[in-house]
Chain A
């Protein structure tokens, strides 16, 4: 899918042709080396405005077709950057000779947000970064080996004997008197306020958190390894369980990535249906975030209000496919099935009810003095938010007007009317307001799409991805062949790699997919929005009260499924 080159591409090409610049699947790609990486990054950041680091990940090339990695080095460190003004993304690939002890310079000096991504690359592939400690991030501390390397068996379990003790490094700047006043407390991983599996080790003085360490990975379910062992369509149920509060959005993100790679244009009806599902999911995701966040602050009533609305949407999903939470509603090339009779009317009715009922939540919380005071904490500036790689409501609450639905409208987002709410302070109260308004806008979108629902097929007719109609299978040989090939060999995208992003409830959900032309993906990297946001948590809560930290955690809406994957 080579596209018309625009002036920006030409500029990039001129500046980076020496670094084998290429433009494939609508992605800019640059090859750098460990020696010139920092120069390239500096140039991209300062001259080309790539001011946000989206993702850093490792790749193990050992079983990949040679044409895709002609440099002959087994490992690669891959970076994805974003230029928000031009809405351009770029990929920088750096071959790393790990076996001979080559070390990659850390890009922490450009972006603080590289922190956990680099740690993860070491954890998963054993790629070392200069000046970074080799600490496990997702796997446990007794783990041996690097699980995403191709020679690590997917089912090789390593039980853990003792969970990690709470600990802090000795810090010479802390005087003995200060140290006397401090204590260590451990919050989580099984704590009501951590919504699941996050663990915070805090050093406190009175009620004020002086230092903290975050421990994640308690829900590391090896999503990326599982993808490598399954067919492209079989990955869809796994994506459901990334951000399980809004499963359909992950389905859509995954399918869109593969469709972009194969150059498939899905039918209008499928696009519209995906939009409806995505916006409904955004609403229920925000409902959980607001409801559960309010519970942490002691407001139980609004939780029941929120959950009641959520149940209504669950019912709609149940009518669609039988499942409530993990729906797997999309397929590569379109949707899994047609809408049942009467669904559109039901949905419009539900939209009307929810639109009315979220105003009750609004009345309970927005002007509630306790809620306001407790959430007006931990503000973050726009610059910091970009530094850390914030996306989604948390970024917009900090005053940055960036939403992929507007910046790069996929499907029919350019044809529907909606607005993007922006905050000012970047604190939790602003995040709450942004989420409330986004729900209203999403319901508006659902309304518009359903009232103009295109007719036609719900699946693409492309024979590479969709089974032909039964009639053709039984009556002509070509149909039979296509059916046979698809069932036996599955969907097979062309050799290559793509990064494709959609606006999920928590921010930019990116899928970086590498295909070797086979029936399973060669490598999948998810860019989960939470991951980038949560790594800033330690800094955000420094010198804040514990109760503020709890409010902050609720406002960030960390979903362990996509954080740990």
Chain B
């Protein structure tokens, strides 16, 4: 609620009651209020798509399980359809064989979307410096939050989810960033093409 927040100062001529009433009122611009409300809603009702492949997926089960209960953070509506979700949690090792599948599923998610790389394997390949393991999913898709650990503790995963919430509230996402980079590259290429034709 940081943007355009302004307390209306009480006029000296007003009565005590008016003054008290004004203290409760916040004025803001309509569009920024809507933006704020949208982000607030988004961050507290994340629909994760668990891209679980390995051991980390078992630990992710514990996160949504009764003890750690991800629903306290509004992130328990696990959807196995990418089209219904806005947060992808990559829990587990991504192999070369799996990588095109991951990319395709990521592309199917509607934007805005966020990505958590849970665990050492998803973040960097972990201790598998091996011929069939992708050395970090950021090679293929933009990642918002990396959670260290092998597997990360459920507490760490919850913190990761909270960091995603922060990012949503601030309106940043790696997806947007990567798109901007792509668009800039595209514009540059187009401009180059133009100058070279002259």
Residues on A facing B (Cβ under 8 Å) = 138-140, 143, 147, 152-163, 189-192, 196-197, 217-222, 225-226, 237-238, 240-241, 244-245, 288, 304, 307-308, 310-311, 314, 324-326, 560-561
B170 to chain A, nearest CB (A): 30
Partner of B54 from the list A143, A153, A560 (CB cut-off 8 Å) is A560
Contacts of A138 in B (CB 8 A): 132
Which residue of B has the minimal Cβ distance to A245? Answer: B58
A155, A196, A226: the one within 8 Å of B53 (CB): A196
Which residues in B have their C-beta under 8 angstroms from that of A147? 131-132
Given the interface pairs A163-B101, A189-B98, the reply to whether A225 lies near B131 with Cβ below 8 Å is yes
Asked if residues A159 and B51 are in contact (CB atoms below 8 Å), the reply is: no
Give Cα A288 to B57, complex, Å: 12
- Complex: how many Å from CA A156 to CA B127? 15
A157-B135, A244-B58, A325-B55 given as contacts; is B95 within 8 A of A307 (CB)?
no
A190-B101, A237-B127, A308-B67 as given contacts; A561 in contact with B55, CB under 8 Å: yes
Question: How far is A158 from B100 in the complex, measured between Cα atoms in Å?
Answer: 13
Whether B131 contacts A222 by the Cβ 8 Å rule is yes
Q: Chain B residues with Cβ under 8 A from A308's Cβ?
A: 65-67
Which of B55, B61, B66, B132 has the most CB atoms of chain A within a 10 A radius of its CB? B132
A-B contact number at CB 8 A: 131
**Least distance between A313 CB and chain B CB atoms (Å):** 11
Q: Flag if A189 contacts B101 (CB, 8 Å).
A: yes
Chain B positions within 8 Å of A225 at CB level: 130-131
B62 at the A interface (CB under 8 A)? yes
Question: A222 CA to B127 CA in the complex, in Å?
Answer: 11
Q: Say yes or no: A220 contacts B95, CB within 8 Å.
A: yes
Cβ–Cβ contact A219 & B59, under 8 A:
no
Min CB–CB distance A57 → chain B (angstroms): 18
B58 touches A139 (CB 8 A): no
For A288, list chain B residues within 8 Å (CB).
58, 61
**In contact, A156 and B131 (Cβ under 8 angstroms):** yes
Question: Nearest chain-A residue to B127 (Cβ)?
Answer: A237
Tell me whether B131 and A152 are in contact (CB under 8 A): yes
Instruction: Report yes or no: A219 in contact with B53, Cβ–Cβ below 8 A.
Output: yes
Confirm or deny: B97 has a beta carbon within 8 angstroms of a beta carbon on chain A.
yes
Contact A307 B66 (CB under 8 A): yes
Residues in B with CB closer than 8 Å to A189 are 98, 101
Residue of B nearest to A315 (CB): B67
Which residues in A have their C-beta under 8 angstroms from that of B164? none
- Establish whether residues A326 and B55, one from each chain, have CB atoms under 8 Å apart when the complex forms: yes
When each residue 71-84 of chain B gets 1 if its CB lies under 8 Å from chain A and 0 otherwise, what string results? 00000000010000
Inter-chain contact B92/A196, CB cutoff 8 Å: yes
B54 with A222: CB separation less than 8 A: no
The reply on B123 being an interface residue by CB < 8 A is no
Question: Does A163 contact B132, Cβ atoms closer than 8 Å?
Answer: no
- CB pair B132 A139 closer than 8 Å: yes
**In the bound complex, what is the Cα–Cα distance between A342 and B134 (angstroms)?**
43
Q: List 17 A-B contacts (CB under 8 A).
A: A140-B97, A154-B129, A156-B131, A159-B96, A160-B97, A196-B92, A197-B53, A218-B95, A219-B95, A221-B132, A222-B132, A245-B58, A311-B66, A311-B67, A325-B59, A325-B151, A560-B54
Distance, CA A548 to CA B96, complexed state (A): 31
- Decide: A307 and B65 in contact? CB cutoff 8 A: yes
In the A-B complex, list the 6 residue pairs whose CB atoms are closest, starting with the nearest: A222-B130, A244-B55, A140-B97, A163-B100, A192-B80, A307-B65
Residues on B with C-beta less than 8 A from A241 are 54-55
Complex CA distance for A190 and B59, rounded to whole angstroms: 17
Interface pair A222/B128, CB less than 8 Å apart: yes
> What is the distance, in angstroms, from A303's C-beta to the closest C-beta of chain B?
8
Question: When the two chains form their complex, are residues B100 and A160 in contact, meaning their CB atoms are under 8 A apart?
Answer: yes
Q: How far is the CA of A307 from the CA of B154 in the complex (A)?
A: 14
**Cβ contacts under 8 Å, A222 to chain B:** 128, 130-133
Kindly list chain A residues whose C-beta atoms are within 8 Å of the C-beta of B141. Answer: none
B52 within 8 A of A: yes
| Contact indicator A160/B65 (Cβ below 8 Å) | no
Question: Closest CB of chain A to B115's CB: distance in Å?
Answer: 14
B92:A219 contact, CB within 8 angstroms:
yes
Whether a CB of chain A sits under 8 angstroms from the CB of B45 is no
Residue B163 at the chain A interface, CB threshold 8 Å: no
**B131 and A160 form a contact (CB under 8 A):** no
Q: What distance in Å separates the Cβ of B56 from its nearest Cβ neighbour in chain A?
A: 9
- B81: nearest residue on chain A (CB-CB)? A192
Contacts of B59 in A (CB 8 A): 324-325
Q: Which of A139, A157, A192, A217 has the most chain B CB within a 10 Å cutoff? A: A157
B150 within 8 A of A: yes
Contact in complex: B96, A325 (CB < 8 Å):
no
Among B59, B104, B131, which residue has the most Cβ atoms of chain A within 10 A? B131
Minimum CB–CB distance for B104 against chain A, Å = 7
- Chain B, 124-145, CB within 8 A of any chain A CB: 127-135
Closest to B140 in A: A159
Determine the chain A residues whose CB is within 8 A of the CB of B101 once the complex forms: 163, 189-190, 218
Contact of A326 among B92, B96, B100, B150 (CB under 8 A): B150
Minimum CB distance partner of A291 in chain B: B61
- Tell me, rounded to whole Å, the shortest Cβ–Cβ distance linking A307 to chain B: 4
List residues of chain B with CB within 8 A of the CB of A304: 65-66
**Cα of A138 to Cα of B132 in the assembled complex, Å:** 9
Find out whether the CB atom of A155 lies under 8 angstroms from the CB atom of B98: no
Within the complex, which residue of A154, A157, A237, A244 is in contact with B96, where a contact is CB–CB below 8 Å?
A157
Q: How far is the CB of A119 from chain B (nearest CB, A)?
A: 15
Question: Is B174's CB within 8 Å of the partner chain A?
Answer: no
A220–B97 CB distance below 8 A: yes
Q: Which B residue sits closest to A157, measured CB to CB?
A: B131
**What is the bound-complex CA distance between A226 and B151, given in angstroms?**
19
Asked whether A163 lies within 8 Å of B104 as measured between CB atoms, the reply is yes
CB distance from B99 to the nearest CB of A (A): 6
Residues of A within 8 A of B43 (CB): none
Contact B153 A324 (CB under 8 A): yes
Nearest-neighbor residue (CB-CB) of A295 within chain B: B61
Say whether, besides A197-B53, A221-B95, A561-B54, A311 and B62 are in contact (CB < 8 Å): yes
Shortest Cβ distance from B193 into chain A, in angstroms? 26
Q: Do A226 and B96 form a contact, CB below 8 Å, given A189-B101, A560-B54, A561-B55?
A: no
Bound complex: CA A237 to CA B150 (Å): 10
Partner of A226, one of B51, B97, B104, B128: B128
Asked whether B93 is an interface residue with its Cβ less than 8 Å from the other chain, the reply is yes
Of A160, A196, A324, the residue contacting B99 (CB under 8 A) is A160
Residues of B within 8 A of A220 (CB): 95, 97, 132
Q: Write the nearest CB–CB distance from B85 to chain A, whole angstroms.
A: 12
Q: Please state if A197 and B98 are interface contacts (CB–CB under 8 Å).
A: yes
Residues of B within 8 A of A217 (CB): 95, 97
On chain B, the residues within 8 Å of A156 by CB distance are 131
CB distance from A515 to the nearest CB of B (A): 22
Distance between Cα atoms of A160 and B95 in the complex (Å): 10
Q: Of the candidates A153, A157, A162, A196, which one forms a contact with B100 in the assembled complex, judged by CB atoms under 8 Å apart?
A: A162
